[in-house]
């Protein structure tokens, strides 16, 4: 019921003028937009009861046999509609050719259930959520994003950065709450609305961004060691109060496997047992110190070579 109201409220934006020719010959108000679901049969109505009319699409007369299939003389039946049938339909007085009604047909699908993901990349400040639709509905689709913290709790907005966004963020996070948050992402377009509910406990979805500024440097006089240094992800707001631990993944150029070591609680590390003169490729990943949530993805590869006798 509520969805119908939403659709009705937004409808005026979709019934904008049919084309630049709208309004010519005093035809304002004749033109309207009709949305058809892909693969369904659709009736276009002229609203000229009883009277025989002539249908045109993009200005070209529609074969009389097709028009007759509509049953009532003033209707046009489109079967198994496809995107190729989009266009400007108009019905006309058969004698005078006067335009009785114009319909812009748009073909698409109601939105599918959006796939939702949420991560606390800036724990404990914000939770960022993203969503996507498995297939493109071809019609303007927007998303209403709200959340509740507990069943009967007040509904709040998950804030989208702008129109057409496919992400939103929740601030005001309550830490260590055993009551799940539930995000509601509702996709709405002219053919329907579909919602997906995504429940989460903040600590279970902690996932920092990858560490930044990784440097791999030689250590003077040490031909079998490399110095690794990096920074916590800048999106992690309080590394001093919510420390991260780090994993290191490295490989020697030409070797066909790599090694992962860690966790380490500091932001530098000396790799030992390095083959002199060889090139090494290194990545680091971060995880919340308390082991809540998930690892970050790996940072981009950085390469280095140990010190060699000048
Ligand atoms: C009408 O014209 C539009 C735009 O050129 C085209 O995409 C559409 O397929 C045409 N419709 C029909 C039924 O020919
Ligand atoms: C999370 O959301 C905030 C606010 O919209 C945004 O500034 C930030 O870039 C987002 N972080 C990530 C990692 O997407
Ligand atoms: C989800 O959001 C939609 C759009 O605001 C609303 O109509 C619907 O009732 C909500 N569903 C739940 C379970 O909160
Ligand atoms: C380690 O192996 C993975 C998977 O084969 C690869 O994607 C990654 O780049 C390698 N990392 C390093 C540091 O070579």
Is the separation of the CB atoms in 267 and 229 below 8 Å?
yes
Q: Do domains 31-108 and 212-304 have the same CATH topology?
A: yes
What global pTM score does this model have?
Answer: 0.80
Q: Decide: 128 in ligand 2 pocket, CB within 6 A.
A: yes
Closest atom of ligand 2 relative to the 209 alpha carbon: 13
Q: What is the DSSP letter of 9?
A: H
Say which residues have a Cβ less than 8 Å from residue 37's Cβ, sequence separation at least 6.
81, 107, 108, 109, 110, 191
Ligand 1 pocket, residue 84 CB under 6 Å: yes
d(C-alpha 30, C-alpha 22), whole Å: 8
User: Chain-wide mean pLDDT for the chain?
Assistant: 88
Q: Which of 169, 170, 183 to mutate to test the pocket of ligand 2 (most atoms within 8 A of CB)?
A: 169
As assigned by CATH, the class of the 212-304 domain is: mainly beta
Interior angle at CA 52, CA 46 and CA 58, nearest 5: 50
Q: Ligand 1 centre from 41 Cα, in Å?
A: 18
Position 151 scores a pLDDT of 83
Ligand 4, pocket-test mutation among 226, 250, 251, 271, most atoms within 8 A of CB:
251
Distance 169 CA to ligand 2 centre (A): 7
Tell me 159's DSSP state.
B
Question: Residue 278 CB: number of other CB atoms within 10 A?
Answer: 14
pLDDT at position 297, please?
Answer: 97
Atom of ligand 3 nearest to the CA of 182: 14
CB 30 within 8 A of CB 93: no
Give residue 68's pLDDT: 59
Q: Is 57 in the pocket of ligand 1 (CB under 6 A)?
A: yes
Q: Does domain 115-205 have CATH number 3.30.950.10?
A: no
Tell me the pairing of strands 302-304 and 280-288: antiparallel
Pocket flag, ligand 4, residue 281 (CB < 6 Å): yes
Which of 113, 146, 147, 181 best tests ligand 3's pocket when mutated (most atoms within 8 Å of CB)? 146
Those residues with Cβ within 8 angstroms of residue 255's Cβ, 6 or more apart along the chain or in another chain: none
Q: What are the beta bridge partners of residue 89?
A: 57, 103
235 lines ligand 2 (CB under 6 A): yes
Helix, strand and coil in the chain, % to nearest 5: 10, 45, 45
Which ligand has the shortest distance to the CA of 271?
4
Kindly list the protein residues whose Cβ atom lies closer than 6 A to any atom of ligand 3. Answer: 2-3, 144, 146, 184, 186, 195, 197
Give residue 167's pLDDT: 97
Residues of the chain below pLDDT 70: 1-30, 50, 64-72
**Residue 78 β-bridge partners:** 42
* One-character DSSP codes across 195-221: EEEEEE-GGGGB-PPPPEEEEEEEETT
- Predicted local distance difference test score (pLDDT) of residue 70: 55
* C-beta 234 within 6 A of ligand 2: no
Q: In whole angstroms, how far apart are CA 1 and each of 5, 125, 191, 193? A: 7, 36, 15, 11
Can you give the pLDDT at residue 222? 96
Nearest Cα residue to atom 11 of ligand 2? 128
- Region label for 69, one of left (φ > 0), alpha (ψ between -120 and 50) or beta (otherwise): alpha
CB neighbour list of residue 7: distance below 8 Å, 6 or more residues apart = 188, 190, 193
Domain boundaries, the chain: 31-108, 115-205, 212-304
State the closest ligand 4 atom to the C-alpha of 250, by its place in the atom list counted from 1: 13
SS3 state at 86:
coil
Answer whether the bond into residue 101 is a cis peptide, omega within 30°: no
Report pLDDT for 95: 87
Give the CATH H-level superfamily of domain 31-108: Immunoglobulins (2.60.40.10)
Query: Residue 13: its pLDDT value, please?
Result: 36
| Ligand 3: centre distance to CA 186 (Å) | 7
Which ligand has an atom closest to residue 166 CA?
2
Q: Please name the residue whose Cα sits nearest to atom 13 of ligand 1.
A: 85
């Amino acid at each position: 019921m509520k969805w119908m109201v939403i659709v009705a409220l937004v409808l005026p934006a979709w019934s904008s003028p049919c084309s630049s020719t709208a309004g010519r010959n005093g035809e304002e108000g004749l033109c309207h937009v009709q949305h058809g679901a892909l693969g369904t049969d659709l009736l276009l109505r002229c609203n000229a009861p009883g009277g025989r009319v002539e249908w045109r699409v993009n200005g070209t007369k529609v074969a009389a046999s097709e028009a007759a299939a509509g049953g009532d003389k003033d209707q046009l039946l489109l079967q198994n509609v496809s995107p190729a049938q989009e266009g400007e339909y108009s019905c006309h007085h058969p004698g005078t050719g006067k335009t009785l009604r114009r319909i812009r047909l748009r073909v698409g699908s109601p939105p599918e259930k959006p796939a939702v993901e949420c991560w606390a990349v800036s724990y404990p400040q914000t939770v960022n959520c993203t969503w996507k639709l498995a297939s493109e509905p071809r019609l303007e689709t927007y998303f209403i994003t709200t959340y509740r913290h507990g069943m009967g709790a007040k509904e709040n907005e998950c804030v989208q950065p702008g129109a057409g966004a496919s992400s939103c963020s929740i601030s005001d996070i309550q830490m260590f709450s055993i009551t799940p948050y539930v995000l509601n992402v509702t996709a709405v377009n002219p053919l329907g609305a579909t919602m997906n509910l995504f429940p989460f406990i903040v600590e279970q979805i902690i996932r920092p961004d990858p560490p930044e500024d990784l440097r791999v440097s030689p250590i003077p006089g040490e031909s079998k060691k490399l110095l690794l240094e990096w920074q916590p992800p800048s999106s992690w707001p309080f590394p001093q109060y919510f420390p991260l631990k780090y994993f290191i993944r490295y490989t020697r150029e030409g070797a066909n496997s790599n090694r992962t070591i860690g966790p380490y609680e500091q932001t530098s590390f000396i790799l030992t047992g390095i083959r002199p003169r060889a090139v090494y490729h290194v990545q680091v990943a971060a995880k919340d110190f308390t082991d809540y949530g998930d690892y970050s993805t790996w940072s981009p590869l950085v390469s280095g070579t140990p010190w060699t006798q000048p």
